[in-house]
Amino acid sequence: MISNKINNRLTNSSMIRAMFEEGAKLKKLYGADKVYDFSLGNPDPEPPAEVKAALRELATSEELGMHLYMNNAGFPEVRETIANKINRETGLQLSFNNVVMTVGAGGALNVVLKTLLDPDEEVIIFAPYFVEYSSYIDNHGGKTVIVNTDAKTFLPDPELLRTKITPATKAILINTPNNPTGVVYGEDILKAIAKVLEEKSKEYGHTIYIISDEPYRKLAYDVEVPNILTIYRNAIMIDCFSKSLSLPGERMGYIATNPEADDIETLMNGLIYCNRVLGYVNAPALFQKIIAKSIDASVDINIYKERRDLLYNGLTSFGYECVKPDGAFYLFPKALIADDVEFKNRALKYNLLIVPGSGFGGPGHFRLAYCVSLETIKNSLPAFEALAKEFK
């Protein structure tokens, strides 16, 4: 028998699996083009031309040793390319020593949490949150503390945060642009959070870190995503190429730190050690090199922006309430009844696959991932309208 803990987790995560199966059944019954599947955050635009060109070039390269183990932190020249890019954008002075290449953002989060946490130390997350956070924190013996965001804006309240910090708080984990709400945290709010953490770190006599999970950093529409490393010295930034280059299956990400962070050498040694002993060993070699060659590339974010506008404008015109997302590729509208699981079932009757907000710590809402074609969104709008009419 497997562990009780994992068995319980399996039971709790069966909803998304059940939805996946339901979707497959509906597609078989009605045809894939008649089912509007907004359930998965799997980016559908192809990777940019630069990525494909680099892949072709490296596939025929005679360079020796390209596929061997390297330093657990990754190839120094790749890390330097990333450090230089951050320096150009921020004016900071990172060196390759401040960058660790990782197996996606998911790998990076596990590396950071393993490095930081002693048993029962607390990590604060803001609801609604990315579903895996509490599992990742639990992986490394930590305790998740959930703090709600403002019900109207999904922005955190720094003063509410202050009341949740205890002597056991080791870090807060933020995610901007946010999955599932699409909200981007502005500089003011990040500075206010940083101030609270500086004060609390002083009060308790130990560093409280900000772990900033930023897979959607490049997918921001009309707003700047501030760089957390410029705002808080003890921030640990996590970025990946899963969304910005449409490469989630290639598992590439990185961790970056501020050279002025407390005890930086030990922190970096810890991160590199944990990357190794978690069994990642190092990030995939070939794709590290591809990333370095396409460092300034990005998928065309106008593709996502156009979809956001179509879906947001459509839904709000039918009476759905929704915070207009500034980034990522999610919408998190209010369900039209309090029971979001029942609402998901009612949507299914119109072949709409949506995810209940409860799984993200946002009950009474639902998540739409607009990683689907403009055509699918257009065709889905009458179904959303008919669904809304049921509740008028």
Ligand X SMILES: Cc1ncc(COP(=O)(O)O)c(C=O)c1O
Residues found near ligand X in the complex (CB under 6 A) = 41, 104-106, 130, 175, 179, 213, 215, 240, 242, 248, 253
For residue 256, the SS3 value is: strand
Q: How far apart are CA 6 and CA 327, in angstroms?
A: 33
What minimum distance in Å lies between the beta carbon of 217 and ligand X? 11
Phi and psi dihedrals of 74, rounded to 5? 110, 175
Token reading at 391 = 């509740």
Which residue number has the CB closest to ligand X?
A: 104
Residue closer to ligand X, measured from CB, 26 or 105: 105
Of the candidates 183, 184, 215, 180, the one whose C-alpha atom is nearest the C-alpha of residue 367 is 180
Q: Is the dihedral of CA 119, 120, 124, 127 positive or negative?
A: positive
Are 76 and 100 within 8 A, CB to CB? no
Closer residue to ligand X, CB minimum distance, 106 or 356? 106
Instruction: Tell me whether residue 39 or residue 351 sits nearer to ligand X (CB atom).
Output: 39
Nearer residue to ligand X within complex by CB, 138 or 339: 138
Structure letter (DSSP) for residue 335: P
Cβ 360 to ligand X, closest distance in Å?
10
Q: Which is nearer to ligand X, 23 or 41 (CB)?
A: 41
Nearest CA among 241, 193, 248, 185 for reference residue 216:
241
| Residue 125: other Cβ atoms inside 10 A | 23
Least distance between ligand X and beta carbon 367 (Å): 11
Nearer to ligand X, 73 or 336 (CB): 73
Structural contact between residues 293 and 50, judged by C-beta atoms closer than 8 angstroms: yes
CB of 39 to ligand X, least distance (A): 12
State the nearest-atom distance from the C-beta of 392 to ligand X, in Å. Answer: 34
Q: Which is nearer to ligand X, 169 or 179 (CB)?
A: 179
Q: How far is the CB of 96 from ligand X (least distance, A)?
A: 21
Beta strands 235-240 and 209-213, pairing class = parallel
- How many angstroms separate the most distant Cα atoms in the chain? 67
Name the strands in the sheet holding 330-331, side by side, starting at the edge strand that comes first in the sequence: 330-331, 366-369, 355-356
Q: Shortest distance, CB of residue 252 to ligand X, whole angstroms?
A: 7
